[in-house]
Every structure is written in structure tokens, then in C-alpha cells.
A and B are shown apart, each in its own frame.
Chain A
Amino acid sequence: MSLKPAITDLEQLKEHPAVACLERGLPGSIEAAKFEHDEMSLYIERSSIREACALLRDHPSCPFNFLSDVTCVDWYPAEPRFEVIYHLLSIRQKERVRLKVRLGDDAPSLDSVTPIWPAANYFEREVYDLFGIRFLGHPYLRRIQMPDDWEGHPLRKDYPVEGYR
């Protein structure tokens, strides 16, 4: 198994069902694409994430009906600082796709995808708890892992590993 270089040219990746669906239904929502290690990552524009997810869930031939995961990576001190990542799976076609949304530092917020997949509920609460990203429209956005009165967001890169208490 040799390390194949990543394919980042959107033209070459047009056959992937997720790319085709978003290019047709929501043109301009894909900021960039990357195909590496046999995995497709799409950088989605921040304001179109909910619509993009709805389109992908209702795709006619390859419905991405299973939300595997919502997580976040903190690229401090690089800007844009946060990257919220959605891992989708199509149970019928056994196809995965990764959607990434880049957010800046001050009061990062994003539309919640709980109306589309109720599975996002706990995942988004965890991202809010550990990174501080607010999900607009979430039914119950409270801290889930840390105690309710905790200050700070532990998984951010400027929060020390040893913690403050």
C-alpha cells in the first residue's frame, strides 16, 4: 500500500454521489474537495450546511441517511480556527462522505442539523461543550460531558491538558 497523493481537483471528483448531488442542487456550496486515503472530504460553505445536509439525506440513489458523527478540530492559531466535521454514511450504497465547515474565532456558531438527523443532538452538544461552538436551532444546547457550571472549553488548543482545577 503506497501513499497515494490527495486529489483536490473538483473536476476529477465529480462522479462521487455527494459531489454530484451538491453541485446540481446547491451550486457554490462546495468550497473545496479532497479525496485522500479513499475518503472524500468536502469543505462546505457555512451558510449552506443545513440545506446541503438535507439534500444529501434525500439523495435519490445514494441517500446519506446515517449521521455517523459530528466533531470539531481546533486549528489555533491558524485562521479560520475551527473546523466542524460531519461524517455521513449511506447505508444503502455503503458510501461515506465527510463534510467540513470552517468557522472563525469570535462567537463561532453554525446551523444545527438536528432537524435533519436527530442523531446530531448529543454530538452537537458535545462539540458545544468541548469547543464552544453554538448550534442555532438545537433543541437543548447544554453541556453534556463537563459539569454544568464549568467555565472554558477543554478541547480547545489554548486550554491546558492538565486543566485548571
Chain B
Amino acid sequence: MILNMGPQHPSTHGVLRVMLEIDGETVVRIMPDIGYLHTGIEKTCEAKFYQQVVPLTDRIDYLCPLTNNLCYCLAVEKLLALEIPPKAQWLRVLLNELTRINSHLVWLGTHALDIGAMTVFLYCFREREDVLRLFEAVSGQRMMTSYFRIGGLALEPPMDFLDRVRDFVRRFPARVDEYENLLTANPIWEMRTKGVARITPEDAVALGASGPTLRASGVDFDLRRDMPYSSYDKFNFDVPVAQEGDVFARYLCRVRELRESNKIVEQALAGMPEGPIKAEAPKVVLPDREKMKTQMEALIYHFKIITEGFSVPAGEVYQAVESPRGEMGYYVVSDGTAKPYRVHMRSACLANLQTLPAMCEGRLIADVVAAIGSIDIVLGEIDR
């Protein structure tokens, strides 16, 4: 029998349609069907100026908007050969890791909810509320922050921002203990997730899986540590790796990543450098408002950047960052004008979704729900 799961389904984490060919309760074939959230973002980017693309990038992987911003800004800054000041780089790391915590909280809450643990969902969203308030404090927006701009950050963070982050970071490890208390040694959780949807490391690499989906199968690779960007090489953190490659292993990897991200934020707070938050590039970076209102050149630059954009030297760049889901890459091709010629987003989820047949064929239907949750997909990134 062919059963259709989705696109409207509480467990598909978005508008994913999965066609299941089943024999009794066993899945014989599984075929994901995507494209329900396709909005042509890549095409739209070609019609916008470079700085106008930044808000579009927020909406691609909408659970980690700052990571998208970071990847795109790093790519264009590479094309422009801009030197980003250390304070901006450290704040980018700090906010990136808060975004990772945010994204993993959604993953944990919804994944646990799919499998039946409703309390975890509410606990995770309680912490997420704190992080969203931090994002609102710094950028004015809870989710689609667009806070990282080409050349640094959009605005100076408020004066009490770092204290609020410090407060969150102090409270957070106890919360992770709460989630683990509810799930990790829970016999129901273990029965539903141990040995379920296993994938071998060779298959995972061959299918292009990255991030926790790859690390849970034993492949120790994390872009933050192995190919660092934006001063990640100055931070000390462990990269959780598991060996079994099943849903439980992916769960453990991500929960440990919550703790590691907390560690990174603590280090960022402790060692935050002083200095400007924007690069020294008047033709690319908007001037401060006071300068814009008092100096003629600043006013002219402001006007030119907003109405005509800035031209980027011709070339191409592929910048990859470690998003909460895996390797998120931006391939930006410039033809020397103020609008990008081509922007392509390498979606971590699209590649991770390809592991679904390898994980689910031959298993029970209920395991499909656990598997989809454990891959942690976001349809905005898959479909763009």
C-alpha cells in the first residue's frame, strides 16, 4: 500500500511530503517530496543589492537566522577582502552559538513531542523565550534578526546585553540537566530511539550528510574546529561524536552540543574585545548616524550605499559554516556590479534528507517519525 504522509502533518516539521510504500507496518520504500515551500529566494537575490539580500537569508533556515546571515556576510566579505574587527567577530560567535542553542531547543522540543514527550517541548520553549528576548534586545527582532551585515554588525548591542547573556548562560546548564533527566535514561525514550534509523558512517558521507547527523555515526568533522571562520579558532570546545548512528546517538550529540555552545558563549563573554563593530570601509559599510547627520561625505556615502549599492569585484566564493544542521554553504558569484550574479545556498538539510531512505527502509512506520525528527530538517532551507 502506498501511504502519503504530509505535506500537512504534525510530525514532518514543515511542509514535507513523504510517500511511504508499506507492507503491513514495514516501510518498503520511502520517497520524500519537497518543493512546497519553494519561494525562489535564489532568483530573488539576483534582483537585489548585496545588502538587500541579508534579510532574505534570514528566511532560509528560519530556526537559525543569524547563522545564515553570518555565512552570507562572510562570503561577500571574502569577495570584498574586508577585515572585520575582533569585537564584531566575537559577537558574531556569541550570537551564532546562542542561535545554535535556540535551534537545538526547537529540535529537542519538537522531536520529543513527536515521540510523545510533551513536557520537554514546553520546557525547551521556555528557554527559547529567553534567547528570543536576547535577540530582540540586540536587533529589534525575535527571529528574522538580519543583525550581521556586510562589514560587521548592524548596531551596537545595548549596554546591558552582555549581562543578560551572562545571566542566561549561568542558568542554562541546569536546564539541560532537566531535559536529560526526562529523556536520556528514560526506558520509553530508549526503546523508541536506540537502534532506530541507523546509518553507517560510509553511507552518511556518501549521501552528503553533515553536522550531528554525520557526527553521530562516528565521523569527527566540525567546520568550526576543522576549517575555522570568524575567530572560532580562539575558542576551546569539544565536538560531541557518537558511534552508533541511530536516533539516540543523534539525540546525545545535539544535547551535548547545547552544553558546548553554552561553554563557547561563556568564553566569548569572558574575553570580549573592545573596539568598533563595523569594518573600516566607507563605501560598503553604512556610517554612524551622528556622522551621517553632521558630515557631508558620510551623508553622500550613506545615500550612495542605500540607493545604488556597492559594487563587489568580480569573482566567486564558496563559504561554508557549521549550522546546527550541518554544512551550510553560500556560493556567491559576482560580476562586478552591485547585484550578485548568482547566490546559491548549499542546504545542509537537503543533503541530510537524502539519508532518510537509507535509515527507514525495512523499518516500522513509527520509526519514520523518529528518523525525520532526528535529522532535524527545516523546510525553508530545503526548498528555499
- Given the interface pairs A67-B208, A154-B40, the reply to whether A91 lies near B318 with Cβ below 8 Å is no
Measured between alpha carbons, how far is A87 from B328 in the docked complex, in Å? Answer: 13
State whether A144 touches B329 (Cβ < 8 A): no
The interface centre, meaning the residue of A69, A117, A146, A154 with most chain B CB atoms within 10 A of its CB, is: A69
What 0/1 pattern do residues 41 to 81 of A give for CB contact below 8 A with B? 10000000000000000000000011111010110000000
Q: Which of B34, B78, B333 contacts A73 (CB 8 A)?
A: B333
Measured between alpha carbons, how far is A85 from B43 in the docked complex, in Å? Answer: 17
State whether B219 touches A91 (Cβ < 8 A): yes
Measured between alpha carbons, how far is A123 from B382 in the docked complex, in Å? Answer: 11
B-side interface residues, number (CB < 8 Å): 43
Which residues between 91 and 132 of chain A lie within 8 Å of chain B, taking CB atoms? 91, 94, 96, 98, 117-123, 126, 130
Measured between alpha carbons, how far is A147 from B7 in the docked complex, in Å? Answer: 14
Which residues between 63 and 83 of chain B lie within 8 Å of chain A, taking CB atoms? 78-79, 81-83
13 further interface pairs, Cβ-Cβ under 8 Å (given A94-B226, A96-B318)? A6-B315, A37-B78, A37-B315, A69-B346, A71-B346, A73-B333, A85-B331, A94-B227, A98-B316, A117-B206, A117-B208, A145-B38, A161-B44
State whether B351 touches A122 (Cβ < 8 A): yes
Q: Does A2 belong to the interface (CB within 8 Å)?
A: yes
Q: Does A36 belong to the interface (CB within 8 Å)?
A: yes
State whether A122 touches B317 (Cβ < 8 A): no
A contact residues around B61 at 8 Å (CB): none
Among all A-B residue pairs, the 7 with the closest Cβ atoms: A119-B208, A145-B35, A3-B81, A69-B346, A145-B38, A71-B344, A1-B81
Chain A residue at minimum C-beta to C-beta distance from B37: A145
Q: Does B168 belong to the interface (CB within 8 Å)?
A: no
Measured between alpha carbons, how far is A144 from B379 in the docked complex, in Å? Answer: 13
Task: Give me 11 A-to-B residue pairs in the complex whose CB atoms sit less than 8 angstroms apart, sorted by A's number.
Answer: A1-B82, A37-B315, A39-B316, A65-B205, A66-B210, A87-B331, A98-B316, A118-B206, A119-B354, A145-B35, A154-B40
State whether A146 touches B81 (Cβ < 8 A): no
Q: Does A155 belong to the interface (CB within 8 Å)?
A: yes
